[in-house]
Each structure stands twice: as structure tokens, then as C-alpha cells.
Amino acid sequence: MSALPSAIDAAAGTRRPIRELPDELVSQIAAGEVVERPASVVRELVDNALDAGAAQITVRLLAGGVRLIAVEDDGVGIPREELPLALRRHATSKIASLTDLESVGTMGFRGEALAAVSSIAELSILSRHAQADGAWLLDGRTGELKPVARAQGTSVEVRELFFATPARRKFLKTDATELAHCLEAVRRHALARPEVGFTVWHEGRLVEQWRPAATAARRIADVLGDDFVAQSVEVEHGTGTVRVSGHAGVPDAARSRADQQYFYVNGRFVRDKVLQHAVRSAYEDVLHGQRQPVFVLHLSIDPTRVDVNVHPTKIEVRFRDGREVHQAVRHAIENALAAPRAQAIGADMAAARPAPLFRPDAPPVPAPWVQPAIHFAAERGPGDMAAMWPASRAEPAAAGAMPSAAPPPAFPPAALAPPPAATAADGTQDWPLGRALAQLHGIYILAENRQGLVIVDMHAAHERIVYERLKTQLDGSAIASQPLLIPAPFAATPQEVATAEACAAVLPALGLEVSPFSPRTLAVRAVPAALADGDPVELARSVLAELAQHEASTVVQRAQHELLATMACHGAVRANRRLTLEEMNALLRQMEATERSDQCNHGRPTWRQLSVRELDGLFLRGR
């Protein structure tokens, strides 16, 4: 068996000298960090096109980008004398000093992408500057410059990717897989820049085209589909120097995979643990199981408060104040999801209400023909109708049981203060969730609204109402802390000790008091009063772990909400509880006024809408 390579040659008894690597090998090593697959090249070239002020970008691919990647734009172009510099390592027009690096506002800035790609592929640049009379073509292999014809802008061609490093080429997937990754790279840019048009060709066939859009919502609909916008809410939230905007999908639109999650920081697509944790925290109250939310969110922040020079691919960032960003993102999504969907239905009904067909002040118009009345009672007899619709149904009493009085109303209508409802043309109130018709199997409430039939899970709906009421009472006061009679010490890791010291001002706000007991031991001296019966050490470890990883912790709040959810579940109306029409209507009105009432505490839906068209389809009406 051969030995692994080593810096010391054991056979000769000598060591290898330290030497400076040639520039080509250095570029190939850098290419291993920057260029993972064809999609990486597409991302870098589109970044450069956007930084050049392009309004239209065209991407042409062959064999999924392995044989050819061509990116054309109509930006300002590159002057002839700067073209050779574009292929040198760490040559860029984006930054010139440390101050520029600390406040980067462009997509690219490292100045190594083109040099890295040129070392592993055949690269050429064709560009015409805005002030130039003609265009120039630069051959990346020979460095030759020659004049050519082209309109203003730049075209970059990359052929035979990884031809100089055949071992890297073996790790590529099928052409279809690489094409999908290239399309995703362009899709991420398209969602960030709705004012720019994007076109993608593969093997001479148009596969994607997104024209410039007037609004971000229109671009989202073009890229991800109209259903994405229809099943999302607009997010708009600003606190201090942090602003969050975009669209967040409703819980019903959640998917089994996290394949429609797009987060941008100052226009740059990123994957960050702080942001992902903030989004998940905002959804944890309304998502069922391990479902993944969908969203397109943009975070605007002072460039000096975020470090984008963290990873060669620029997909990771580091925030100066991660806690501030975490709270801003979480509150933005929570506020957007708080409004129940019934309110939107009510607004749509008010906007789409037609003019009344019958006006009380209009003179009566005699009808040309009146259908004669049909006397059901005379034909069938009153006994048939009474048998079909009995006035009351007697419940058989259990043997030996005393007859009990009717249970008190679960939802006293007099105690409610429902939001004002629209008025229909016939003068009746037009509620978003409609008027109750009946109760089905003691579980569901059937109601009628302008759209059709509403089906409500009464236990799930009432559970959410009680839960939100308890949360409101809890949020109105600070987290009460209960000192422990005997402190609970535990052996802590160096990271836990460092986190406890760094977050000493944050822990009391969570109802916790954790102090050093020895250089390697921490002691829990106080815990939230609501969680006094739990394990103080386990609680402290969980809080410190989240603070260390995400710079914010929701462990205490999550544990408190779990207790409130249990209380709400036991306090909600049970299945098989007979409700009167007044009680059913009172529950519907409370749902319309309660935040997050579309899902129960476990993330399951509380109501569903069946439109008249859907009902007609079930019975093949109109076919």
C-alpha cells in the first residue's frame, strides 16, 4: 500500500521546500472556490452585467452550460485599454480602498471571477464602451485584441468549461441537471431586479423569458406563477436602519421542500442562518409539521452594517447586529400573516359588489307573466313536511340519567363586538365568513357567504381564538422571573460560557439569570415563572445554543406558547357540542376579528371555502 503524499520525503530524508505557486495554478485553485458548476459562471457573469447597468440580459447555453455559456448585456461596456486588465486576478472597477470594501453596494467586488474562469475554460470578451466608436474582442487564451462590430454593451463567452481540469468535469451531473441549476441562478437575479429583462436560450431554443416588470409583484408572478402571488401576503416593515419588504406565502401554500425561499440583502441573494431562523420563528405558530414556507423577501440595510466579504461565492453574509435583523424580519412576517384571510375576502366583496338591481324608490314595473304558486301542502299533506323537517329532535336519555339543562352558550352574542360588515343589496349583512346554516356531526359549521359554502372546524377555530387571547394577555406584561432556592450549576462548554457573558443583558429579558460559577461552570439562578416546573439546566442550554447560533432566542417564548396552546386546547369547545345558530354566528364573527385564525395552534386549517363554481362542477351543472 502506497503512503499518502507528505511535505517530508521519508525515503530521501529531506523535506520539500516552500515555493511560490505559478499564477495559472493559483487561478485554478481560486476557480475551485468560485466555480462549482456552470451555474456558478452564469451567476458571476450576470452579476457583472447588472453592475454595468444592463437593462436586458441574454444567456445562451449549450449542453447545460458545459460546452458554452454566453452572457450578453446592453450595459456601459468596457473601454479597449481596460479589457486586458479584466482577466487579471484581483482587478476590478468596483472597489479601490478598504472603505469601499466595507460598504460594498455592487454585486461583484472581488475581481477574481473572470481570471478564475479563464484558467479552466476558453474565455473571450466582446465589448463596446458607451463613448467608443466600435467594439473590441479579447481572446482570453492569447490576449489578442481585434476590432469587431457590436452595439453598446458586453458579451462574455465561456467554452468547454473545466477543459483544463478534467478531474473537475467528472463531477458534473447530466445536462438537464446543470441546465436546471443555471435557470435557478438566473431566476434569483430576475426576482431581485424586476426592471431588467432576462432571456435564456438552450441549444438554440428559448427556455425562459422575463420581460421588464413595472412592479415586484408582477415579476414574482412571471417567475413563480400567479398562484404564488395569490397565496401570499405583502410584507412591508421598517425599523431604524433595517427595512423588510416582499411577499410571504400563507401557511396553506407551504411546501414539503424549501425550493421557493428567496432572501435578498441589498439586492444580493443570500443564505443566512439568522435570516432562516427568523423566518422559521415567524411561521412556527401557523405551520403544520415540517412544512416549508415560501417567500420572496428583501432586506435593505446600511452596507456598513453587513459584511458580504465572507465567502468566495458571496452567498453568505455577516451582520453587525444580528439580533436587530432577526427581530425586524420576524416581526415583519408575523405582522403580515396576522390578518385573517376572511378580512381580505370581506374587502374583495366590498370592492366587487354590483349596483343593486332593485331600488326602493323606483316605481314598480308590472311583470308580464307570473308563475302560479305551487301548493306543496295541498298535494303532499302537512305530515310529510313535518316528518322531513321536525321542529325539534328529542335525544334519548341514558338509563338512570337525570335530564340536564341546556349548556350555556359557548359564544354569547351579546359579549361580542364584531367588526362592521358590509351590507348587501337586499339590506342584509354580508359577512366575510357568511351566516351559519347548520352544524355537521357536531364537528363542522356550514355557513353561506357570497362566494358559496364555508366549512369551519369549530374546535380548531375556537382553539385558535382562545390561544390568541391568552397570548395577548401574556405579551402585555414582561416575563416574570422566579429565583431558584438552590442554584442549578452545570458543566458548560467554552462557547456556552462566552455566550452567557456576551448576552448578560439579554438573558434577564427572557426571564433567565445565568452567571459564572467557575471558569468551566455556569449556574442557573432564576427561570421564567411559567416554566418553573421544568428542567432549568436544559432550558438554559437551549437558550444559550440559540443565542450562539442565531444571536436571538425564541426558546422561552416557544415553551410559553406550548403551555398556552395546551390551555387553549382544553378550554376550546369540544366536538359533538351542540351549538345554536347564534353561537355559530358568534364564532364566525370572532374568527373574522382574530389574528391568525386561518390555522389552529398546530398549523392545520380552521376553515375552507367552496365556491359556487366548484359546487356546480361537483354536480356537472352547465355541461
Residue with cell 444592463: 54
Query: How do residues 397-418 score in pLDDT, each as one tens digit?
Result: 443 333 333 344 455 544 444 4
Q: Which three cell numbers stand for residue 159?
A: 467554452
Q: What is the 3-state secondary structure (H, E, C) of 343-398?
A: HHHHHHHHHHCCCCCCCCCCCCCCCCCCCCCCCHHHHHCHHHHHHHCCCCCCCCCC
Give Cα separations from 499 to 55, 257, 326, 505, 554 (angstroms).
47, 32, 17, 11, 15
The residues facing 204 across adjacent strands are none
Residue 429 pLDDT:
61
Q: What is the DSSP letter of 66?
A: T
Amino acid sitting at position 616: D
Place of cell 390555522: 599
| pLDDT surpasses 80 at 513 | yes
The confidence score (pLDDT) of residue 414 equals 40
pLDDT tens digits, 208-264: 999 999 999 999 999 999 999 999 999 999 887 899 999 999 988 889 888 899 999
Q: What angle do CA 561, 562, 568 make, to 5 degrees?
A: 85
Each residue's pLDDT tens digit, 166-206: 777 778 889 999 999 999 999 999 999 999 999 999 999 99
Q: For 475, what's the count of Cα atoms within 13 Å in the CB-facing half-sphere?
A: 8
CB count within 10 Å of CB 393 equals: 5
386/395 Cα distance (integer angstroms)? 18
At residue 523, the 3 state secondary structure works out as: strand
User: Between 20 and 363, where is the model more confident?
Assistant: 20
